[in-house]
Structure 1
Amino acid sequence: MPEPTHDADQPRGRLVLITGTGRSGTSTASGTLSHLGLHVPGPYLGANRSNPKGFFESRWAVRFHKRLHKRAWINDFDGRPEAVELAREAITPAMRDELRGFLEDVSGEHDQVVVKDPRTVWCQALWADCSADVGLSIRYLSMLRHPAEVLGSRTEYYAAGADDDRRRYYATSSLGRWINSSIVNERETRGARRTFVRYVDLLRDWRTTMKKVAVDLGLEYDSDLDDMSPHPVDEFIDPDLRRVQVTWDDVDVPAPLRELAEEVWQNLEALADSDGTDEGASRTLDGLGARYAAMVQDAKAMSHDATEQSVNKAKDTAVRQERKRVREEEAAAAEAADPAAEQSGVDRFRARARGALGAVASKVRSK
């Protein structure tokens, strides 16, 4: 790919990266910006029961991140503090070139581009670097939704019908992922132009909320938001989108994890109220991140025996399956090499079997 020829001090466009945790309203934010004239490159993921208005999420970005996560051996929404480092180590020069090419293509005729994918949390530095390489000024829109509601929403759509133990496991692991993703997202976007938006604020008063987003991120819309006449966003944003409304009382998770998540939430709210910059909140989130990492290490230590048992069982199963595969291949090769000999062996086995069955029948008749 040829080197970019733009003046690095004069960005030719803006890239808005919509991030946050899953089920926090990122699709609603992306769709709203699309209706306000910004370019959200498609094709998109299709609508489904969990997101009937559509995701406004680029298939290219989703596939790119999933390939990266597969190389890094991390979950899309991973609860391990080291997940971001694993993702960094998995990035290849070819992936960088691929992302630069994508950004060149989608920004060729647009000076305001929106890419929405919560999975960017593990590689925001990559997006920032590649954006700068192609002359785009990056800025971040992080959607916020209370963790109890995120858990309720994820459990509703992804663990429906599970038994109580499974639902508790799912809720606990999902809360760990919410904490980790939230802390990493704040840390990785710190110092950049950014804004934090509460999902409930976007649903209640999208005009006021999006005016603040425009100021915080330096965006231009194709509509006057002071004009209260009907707008396509009025139909797009439906307060009923917030279908799952729960509190901590409705979620079965360990108390220490719940308390930590609530502290993270309160500091994210402080950032939402201060245009994305609050040094005290950022310092506190660093401390909460250290607490969470220690909690994860303790959990690993306590579950060591169960984890080791699962690993050993998986190894034994893999060994048995491999031995079976080898035996089957050897038998097939022998048959292919000498089908007559193979058939002769089968005939001898059948003859012995018939003889044994005949002897048993004679004994039965003699009684």
Structure 2
Amino acid sequence: MTQKTAIIVLGMHRSGTSSVAGVLSRLGAAAPRTPMEVAADNPRGFFESRLIGELDDRILEAGGSWWSDWRQFDPGVIASDVLADFRREIAATVEAEFGDAATIVLKDPRLCRLWPVWDGVLETAGYRIVHVLPLRSPLEVAGSLKTRNDMPIAQGLALWLRHVLDAEKFSRGAERRLIRWTAFMTDWRAGAATIAEMLSPGAFSLDRAAEIDAYLSRDLRHEVVPDETLARAAETHAWAVEAYGCLTAAADGDGAAAALKRLDQLRDRFDAASDLFGRATAAAIAPARSEPESRHATFESSGAQTDVDARLAAAEARHAQALKSLEGLKTLLNQERAMRGNESADHAEALRSLEVAVAAERERREALEERLRLSMRSLVEREVRLSRTSAHQ
């Protein structure tokens, strides 16, 4: 059997994966036969299989997760027979979507977290795997999610961290290219040449170069945060800044070994924070229902009153859980302050911010979903500060 090649585009939601996949498909890599429908937030297409996206959503759901979950995904919670069925379905879906194409481009942001489930399936099906990891400023990504999904910036940064840290971990040691997305948009030919180094000669064709030039117009990039201003931005966070710096250093080949070592340390700290606060706030951060990425925030105005009442009741319950979690964290922080009279300024700031968040939650009882988003932002800010304080002690 002739070996085929699968170019796996591993990247966070809103990080430029669609534009990269769109270029690769125009260079000759086969796109899926059942593409995700275009949407207002991505009118030129996702270049993503609708069937694979739906399958990955079901895998996430089976593991107690969803697309916007920033916690670590554990496939071990899925029964072994169910997991085996998912892996067989992955193989069948890939065959249905790509057939016998010699080179395919497979892109779904969920793969950043789900690669342990996918790992080995494509190789068994006769594919050689190469990975492409587009890197976009975390604040640009978070800003794009804020615009599209009304997701708080802090939550977007946590989600970015989860995806990029997992993607880097799962692809390390494999054939891969980390590429700066802004550089790719400026000079896609250089980026494509870098990717082509992993492929067989003639895998790419420049016959549609003019079409690609037109496709990569400036209006594909709405959120712009220059790298040199990222660390100074009011809404950024030190972990996101450092992770982005390490990833771009690895992409540029500048001190790659040291950058990867630091990424391991950041991942360990983020995983520990996710384990602690993710479990404490799971009920509060879970969506009311499992929905695809770009349609998650949609609320249909038509429908029975009972359905509306049920959704409001569910929102009220999540809000109550969020308040309970916030109060518990406030208690923990107060205990920490009592035990450590010389706590750091960051710790004190975390406590003050948490108290403000709790007060804000109580005052906004007519805006349940918005309060949940604010709660999520507050929890993420506190969890990373707590982890930073623990690491320094």
The TM-score with structure 2 as length reference comes to 0.65
1:15, 1:139 within 8 Å by CA — same for their partners in 2? yes
Partner of 1:204: 186
Partner of 2:256: 278
Amino acid paired to 1:292: F
1:20, 1:144 within 8 Å by CA — same for their partners in 2? yes
Q: Root-mean-square deviation (CA), in Å?
A: 3.2
User: Equivalent residue of 2:10, what SS?
Assistant: strand
Give the Å deviation of 1:157: 1.5
User: Equivalent residue of 2:132, what SS?
Assistant: strand
User: Equivalent residue of 1:231, what SS?
Assistant: helix
Is 1:71 paired with 2:49? no
User: Equivalent residue of 2:128, what SS?
Assistant: strand
Name which of 187, 191, 203 aligns with 2:173.
Answer: 191
Is 1:291 paired with 2:269? yes
The TM-score with structure 1 as length reference comes to 0.70
User: Is the alpha carbon distance of 1:311 and 1:37 closer, same or farther for their aligned partners in structure 2, counting shifts above 3 Å?
Assistant: closer
Gap regions ≥5 residues in structure 2 = 286-315, 322-393
Once the two structures are superposed, residues 243-297 of structure 1 have per-residue CA deviations (whole angstroms, 9 ceiling, x without a partner) of: 11136589664x6xx001100001110221139x933222211101122234445
Partner of 1:234: 213
Computing the radius of gyration from Cα coordinates, the structure with the larger value is 1
Give the Å deviation of 1:144: 0.9
User: Is the alpha carbon distance of 1:89 and 1:27 closer, same or farther for their aligned partners in structure 2, counting shifts above 3 Å?
Assistant: farther
User: Equivalent residue of 1:73, what SS?
Assistant: coil
CA distance in 2, matches of 1:87, 1:113: 31
User: Equivalent residue of 1:93, what SS?
Assistant: helix
CA distance in 1, matches of 2:187, 2:319: 54
Name which of 153, 156, 168 aligns with 1:171.
Answer: 153
User: Equivalent residue of 1:113, what SS?
Assistant: strand
Aligned residue pairs: how many?
287
Give the Å deviation of 1:17: 1.1
1:103-252 equivalences in 2 (<5 Å): 103-159=94-150, 170-218=152-200, 220-224=202-206, 231-246=210-225, 248=230
State the identity %.
27
Amino acid paired to 1:290: D
Give the Å deviation of 1:222: 4.3
Amino acid paired to 1:33: L
CA distance in 2, matches of 1:33, 1:312: 44
CA distance in 2, matches of 1:144, 1:114: 17
Give the Å deviation of 1:31: 0.8
Partner of 2:53: 62
Give the Å deviation of 1:137: 0.7
Give the Å deviation of 1:97: 1.1
Amino acid paired to 2:258: G
CA distance in 1, matches of 2:201, 2:10: 17
Once the two structures are superposed, residues 291-316 of structure 1 have per-residue CA deviations (whole angstroms, 9 ceiling, x without a partner) of: 22344456569979x99x957968xx
CA distance in 1, matches of 2:266, 2:249: 15
Give the Å deviation of 1:120: 0.7
